Chain A
Amino acid sequence: MGQLGTYALLLGLALSGYGAVAAALGAKTDRPVLVESARRTAFGLFATILVVNGAMMIALLRNDFALRYVVENSSRETPAFFRALSLWAADDGSLLLWNLILAGYIAAVALRFRRDRPATFPYALSVLFVVQVFYLILVNGLATPFATMSSRPADGAGPAPLLQNHPLMAVHPPFLYLGFIGFTVPFAFGIASLLAGHGTDEWVSIIRRWTLVVWCFLTIGLLLGALWSYSVLGWGGYWAWDPVENVALLPWLLSTAFLHSVMLQERRGMARLWNIALVIGAFSLMTFGTFLTRGSVLSSVHAFAQTAVGPAYLAFLAVVMLVGFGLLMWRLPTLRTPARLDSAISREAAFVGNNVLLLAAAAIILLGTAFPLVVEAVSGQQITVGGPYFKSAVTPVFLLLLLLAGTAPLLPWRATNRARALRRLRVPAVAAALVMVATALAGVRNVTAVAGFGLAALVFVANGQEVVSGLAIGRRGGRSGIVRTMLRGRRRYAGLVVHVGLAMVAAGITASSTLGQQTEVTLKTGQSTVFAGHVLRYEGLRTDQQPQRIVLSAPVKVNNVGGGGAGTFDPRMNLYPAATEPIGSPSIHRGVVWDLYASVISLQEDGNSATFRFYRNPGVNWLWLGGFVMALGGVAAAWPVRRRHDDDEAPTSVRRTRAPVEVGAV
């Protein structure tokens, strides 16, 4: 297996090198045959990397301890499911998956443009192959995933305990990778359009569509990461402003900004330079994130063990920025577009505001994340920037973004018919005011909470109202009328749905971050405590010896204060042989309005006494549901529909003549 993997990796490197050269040469010398052969190479490359990953997967499943990676990340006792997940449990293996996903994207691009090809296609293909060459060089020497052991040990160390503690590990990393690596495609087409140099906007709709796909994956990946943190780490929260979380959020913010500002270019021919800068920026931030996580510069839950590939990542980051922004400056004269806003109260102005705010949020987060690196470089001191900085700096920006998301979709393009837009704002504004008053009357004195709930209501009602009125218009034409209306205004409705999801996420974050309660108590067996309207009684320690670990569970009986049972908590501590500290496993009673959450912190007197932390977290499930709705909206916007239904590619001149209050949020 080891040899198969090693040779397949070499073959993959050769194939991507060939693809990069053939595509670029074919375009330069106008030889379509070469481009076509490069396009077909993409499928060969994908198959090759698939074999590589298959070889590692089989080695892991069969516990082939001749391979160092298997010894370090699997063991006889590890269940088969987690053995398979070990493919991305450590740096070397996850790079194989990374390469597979990148090759998959290249193959998808090759398949998508098998017939009608934009002029930029060959260059874009070449850029994609070049990126793949870099990631394949990493695993062809700098890192050696298929390195063998000098002697074959009887057993392995097993995966890192935290990574074999929850099945969410199966989906969080792949989705995040799909989101992260996907930025290569918009970047490649952006670079290709700069290389080709003709000032057309042909690349815009291509990049927009691919960015949407990537945005969906990244949204889901971030969400699953938050869910994993909440369900596994036992600290009652879902976002810790950990550097690696931050660097995953940065490209998300930039791509969200792009998905809005791209409409300025499609509709009004504005912001061409800005948009391409965002695409290059998102990919640079993604590369920066990879460097930070894998280059072993900082420690975090996510950081991989020390590797020798740090300088390689840094060099790649430098090349990406130099080529990307260098080309941008080179082509500056062709990218200039007239920047003229007809009115401060127009959709265009709102998009500009949206971009300023999203970039401000990204800048605040980037500053906080990079600051420890700067301080250490300058003064040698190790510092960390904690949650309070991020929270206090980012909250006002996010609140303003909500205000825009709740008003902008009702604003007209240009400045015509402002009165009508303001009229449609009446209901959402009243709803927001009512929610704010109700929140304040309910005893909430936290200004952020009141504002957050009010603005979430504004976004929810404003966007929901547009969807409902669209449905109402469509219904006049019967069931097929609704479908037709939705399809015709697909981008608009999908965008509105994303905003509705955003409102739910905002409400969830506001509720959980401002109205949560928590307590820490030590209970002896049989002893009870009262928390948030519940009587919690510790039932005594139970021990369960499993093949790969020892599970210590500390069951807690939950009763309502007024009487009546509400079930049992079962927070646990898992002891893995490779870990010095036990890994906690919280127990969560999920509810529509709030979750009751218990984790066991420590055990004393052979388990006759246990220290627990209990949380009452409101709104966390709105966050998951809202995130799901956002991703759903994104999928609806990106879903390929045949052209006769789809007005995406309609020429801009046609669109401009439509009704003045045309809404298209994504």
Chain B
Amino acid sequence: MRRITRRRGILLGVVAAVVSAVVVLLSTGLGKDPSVVASPLVGRVAPDFTLSQLNGPPMTLSKLRGQVVVVNFWASWCTECHTEQAALDQTWQQFQDSGVVVVGVNFEDTTGDASDYVRTAGVAYPVVEDTDSRTALAYGLRGIPETFIVDKTGRIVDRIIGPVDATKLSSEINEVLLAGAR
């Protein structure tokens, strides 16, 4: 009887060990954020663009060297974009004095719809129009919203697919700022 109990204990231990191993292995997949996509663009110089601004002079990405740029592709018809609006605004308010620029790149939209949205939603950061979608193609856009973080040297350090999260975005920007300061 005691032998049976002992063997049972060993077998149950084996089951527990195997299950824990599987859980540990699988949970590493949970730790990372699947919206952060490995992209061949990450680490390379961000494709440059000069695009007309909705309310202001044309903007050129390469002229923003020395600052961290958050390039966010959006459209007025995109509901997911509406949900990340607050996060982007908050990032802009929080970091605009620390050398961070948020640029909204309006994608597949009409100037009228885009302006209406910017006015009613109170978008404060600069918004440019990618009228012929050339910039979207250069960035290999999969869908919108999609956001790229460009460091002070003009290199893409991250690509975020889907709506951004304010906390995650700000901690990432802090990291980029720190890395640049080192």
Contacts and interface: CB of A to CB of B under 8 A. Distances in A.
Interface residues of B, number: 37
Given A297-B26, A297-B29, A373-B26, A306 B38 contact: no
A322 interface: yes
A161 to B, nearest CB: 10
Contact of A157 (B16, B26, B78): B78
B181 interface: no
Contacts of A329: 8, 11-12, 14-15
Given A306-B35, A580-B144, A325 B79 contact: no
A495 interface: no
A578 interface: yes
B28 interface: yes
Given A157-B79, A579-B143, A580-B141, A321 B28 contact: no
A559 interface: no
B4 interface: yes
Contacts of B28: 373, 376-377
Interface in B1-26: 4, 8, 11-12, 14-16, 18-20, 22-23, 25-26
A29 interface: no
Contacts of B33: 306
A287 to B, nearest CB: 11
With a 10 A CB-CB cut-off, give which of B20, B28, B35, B78 has the most chain A CB atoms: B28
A577 interface: yes
A580 B78 CA distance: 11
A153 interface: yes
Contact of A310 (B4, B19, B20, B30): B30
Nearest to B144: A580
B136 interface: yes
B76 to A, nearest CB: 11
B78 A382 contact: no
Contacts of A71: 79
A291 interface: yes
A322 B8 CA distance: 14
Contact of B38 (A332, A377, A382, A578): A382
A434 interface: no
B84 interface: no
A303 to B, nearest CB: 8
Contacts, number: 93
Contacts of A317: 22-23, 26
B142 interface: yes
B12 A374 contact: no
Contacts of A322: 15-16, 19
B26 A314 contact: yes
Nearest to A156: B79
A337 B136 CA distance: 65
Interface in B81-116: 82, 107-108
A297 B34 contact: yes
Contact of B8 (A157, A297, A332, A374): A332
Interface in A300-319: 303, 305-306, 310-311, 314, 317-318
A333 interface: yes
Interface in A119-136: none
A503 to B, nearest CB: 37
Given A305-B162, A332-B11, A578 B16 contact: no
Contacts of B162: 305-306
Given A329-B8, A330-B12, A333-B4, A373 B29 contact: yes
Contact of A296 (B8, B15, B34, B80): B34
Given A297-B30, A376-B29, A577-B77, A330 B19 contact: no
Interface string A355-386: 00000000000000000011011000010000
A527 interface: no
B105 to A, nearest CB: 13
Contacts of B143: 578-580
A517 interface: no
Interface in B119-176: 136, 141-144, 162
Contacts of A376: 28-29, 32
Interface in B34-77: 34-35, 37-38, 77
Nearest to A333: B4
A197 interface: no
B77 A306 contact: no
Nearest to B28: A377
Given A330-B8, A578-B78, A291 B26 contact: yes
Most chain A beta-carbon contacts within 10 A, residue among B14, B18, B23: B23
Contacts of A314: 23, 26-27, 30
B4 A295 contact: no
A325 B26 contact: no
Nearest to A72: B79
A155 B82 CA distance: 13
Contacts of A318: 19-20, 22-23
A326 B33 CA distance: 33
B59 to A, nearest CB: 22
Interface string A570-587: 000000011111000000
Nearest to B27: A314
Nearest to A305: B162
A204 to B, nearest CB: 23
Nearest 7 A-B pairs (CB), nearest first?
A297-B29, A329-B11, A377-B28, A325-B15, A157-B79, A321-B19, A310-B30
19 contacts: A155-B77, A157-B79, A297-B30, A298-B34, A303-B34, A306-B33, A306-B35, A310-B30, A311-B30, A314-B26, A318-B22, A329-B14, A373-B25, A374-B25, A376-B28, A376-B29, A377-B29, A579-B143, A580-B143
Given A317-B23, A322-B15, A329-B14, 4 more contacts: A314-B27, A321-B15, A382-B38, A577-B108
